[in-house]
Amino acid sequence: MAAQSQAEIDAFVAWFQAQGATVDTTAMGLADIPGYGRGVVALRDLPAEHTLFTIPRDLVLSMRTSALPGKFGQAEWKKFGLCEGWTGLILCMLWEEARGASSKWHGFFPILPTAFDTPMFWDENDRAELKGTAVVDKIGKEDAEKDFATKLLPAVESRPDLFPPDSIPHVYTVEKYHLMGSRILSRSFHVLRWKPDGEEPDEEAEVDEAEASSALNTDGNAMDVDAPTDAPAVEFDAQEPVEDAAAEDDEDDDDDDRYEDPADVAMVPMADMLNGRFATETARLYYDDEHVLKMMTTQAITAGEQIWNTYGDPPNSDLLRRYGFVDVTELEPPLSGAGNPADIVEVPANFVVEAAAKHTKNKTQERVDWWLEEADDDVFVIGTDCELPPEFVSLARLLLQSKADWEKAKSKGKVPKPVMDATIGAIAMDVLQNRLKEYSTSDDEQLLSGPSQSSLNHKMAVTVRLGEKRILAGALQVLQSRYGKDAGKRKRGADSTSARGKKARR
């Protein structure tokens, strides 16, 4: 995003303080930081647990604090589907911004980014470089535009008293819908429900550690605010942090529906100014009491250093999708070189089914249907440890079982134990080789290390796919060393670095 002028920054800080927030201007300042855009820096040496700023809860911008849902009417809000996903919050933000000085948040919008470098806004050529990666199916542009056309626009057109018809063509547009959605995706937090004036929370409010939920939408993220275990939402200890909502986005918690309320997603002025970097958190947002959030240092910080919040150390595929950048550091064994230690590869279950079919005459459809009902795993995730997930192995064993063993497993409702053998190893190697074919076959390491005329988008896409290809190559080498007699002939299509740092055979 374009750098804000000092006058714009000063105006934001003045607005922030005028709304009842506090900021220690002797301790921190907003600055433009090369390679990171705007961020927060320490103006003097700071100890751990120093309060940088505090924010009244009613200054966060959410569907709970905006007046729009009340004016629109809760029944109608629900009728148009505005209580599901982010569409309602996006509409609140568009409406509040359009109100100008009449909005409580009039001083917040000018400091928000007006452009993003995320794949949502890339051209088709740049997005094509992401083929095969975990990014492609999660961009969600088509789904977002469907929500705009079927939910937001009909809602707006139904209430000319709230949304003047002459404002619709330039305020409530799909372009601004994407912009607001990207602001939420990259900068929102999860803020738990609270009751004013010391009222007891209702049962819905009694939750701990808010986290982003996939129930919000396919891109559901936000930064969370941690609450103490077993504590109601109004009884927070200052030492219990407000978690990065985006940090929790990829942690599956299908059995826990406590975090599925989109009204928890909120824009938190000033807190969204802090940048993040892998394993570098030096400050976090905490609940102080039922009325105030506070940003505190988590360790001593030296004057001049950037103050870092956390993005939860996600893989580069998510960093690029949410924020428009990638993060690399030194990898640990079994991989080597520069990459993101949190990188992952997603392997669809159908790859396992297709590979297993070469080793059995069993009819697989009934077993697959049972697996999806019993285990509910249709994608397997491999990390930088290059080990197959147990669920991957269990599915392969299920597909190979004799009819008697299959009937026994089905009657007991138990998936097979994840026991590896040579046949499972051969299936896994076949799966990984086929998964590698999903990517571009260019020499990604050379492309990144040598001089290149490639755009930044292209290089970031290559970084993401190289990270995934490196994991697949490493996992292949592990399997080949254990089960492959002709390991050098099995691997095809990998141009990444193997587990020992050698060039992968092609």
Q: How much is the pLDDT for 477?
A: 95
> How would you write 142-178 as a 3-class SS string?
HHHHHHHHHHHHHHHHHCCCCCCHHHHHHHCCHHHHH
Q: How much is the pLDDT for 484?
A: 77
What is the C-alpha end-to-end distance of the chain, expressed in Å? 40
Q: 6-195+209-323, superfamily in CATH?
A: set domain protein methyltransferase, domain 1 (3.90.1410.10)
Following CA atoms 119, 120, 126, 131 in sequence, which dihedral angle do they give, to the nearest 10 degrees? Answer: 70
* E strands present in 43-100: 51-56
CA atoms in the 13 A half-sphere facing the CB of 427: 27
Q: How much is the pLDDT for 260?
A: 58
Whether domain 329-490 has CATH 3.90.1420.10: the reply is: yes
User: Tokens 């040496």 map to which residue?
Assistant: 45
Q: How much is the pLDDT for 3?
A: 55
Please report which helix (H) or strand (E) contains residue 394, including its range.
helix 390-400
The side-by-side arrangement of strands in the sheet containing 188-190 is: 223-224, 188-190, 265-267
Q: How much is the pLDDT for 207?
A: 25
User: Tokens 């970031």 map to which residue?
Assistant: 460
H helices of 437-455, in order, are 444-449
Judge residue 310's burial from the number of C-beta atoms within 10 Å of its C-beta, 0-12 exposed, 13-18 middle, 19 or more buried.
buried
Judge residue 493's burial from the number of C-beta atoms within 10 Å of its C-beta, 0-12 exposed, 13-18 middle, 19 or more buried.
buried
- pLDDT by position in tens, the chain (length 506): 445 678 889 999 999 999 999 999 999 999 888 878 889 999 999 999 999 999 999 999 999 999 999 999 999 999 999 999 999 999 999 999 999 999 999 999 999 999 998 999 999 999 999 999 999 999 999 999 999 999 999 999 999 999 999 999 999 999 999 999 999 999 999 998 876 544 443 333 322 223 332 223 333 445 444 332 222 222 233 445 565 544 444 443 333 333 458 889 999 999 999 998 888 999 999 988 778 999 999 999 999 999 999 878 899 999 999 999 999 999 999 999 899 999 999 999 999 999 999 999 999 999 999 999 999 889 999 999 999 999 999 999 999 999 999 999 999 999 999 999 999 999 999 999 999 999 987 788 888 877 666 788 999 999 999 999 999 999 999 999 998 764 444 444 433 333 333 332 22
- Give the domain ranges of the chain: 6-195+209-323, 329-490
Torsion over CA: 501, 131, 275, 243 (sign): negative
Closest-CA residue to 380 (of 422, 427, 311): 427
Give CA–CA dist 410/385, Å, rounded: 32
The model's pTM:
0.82
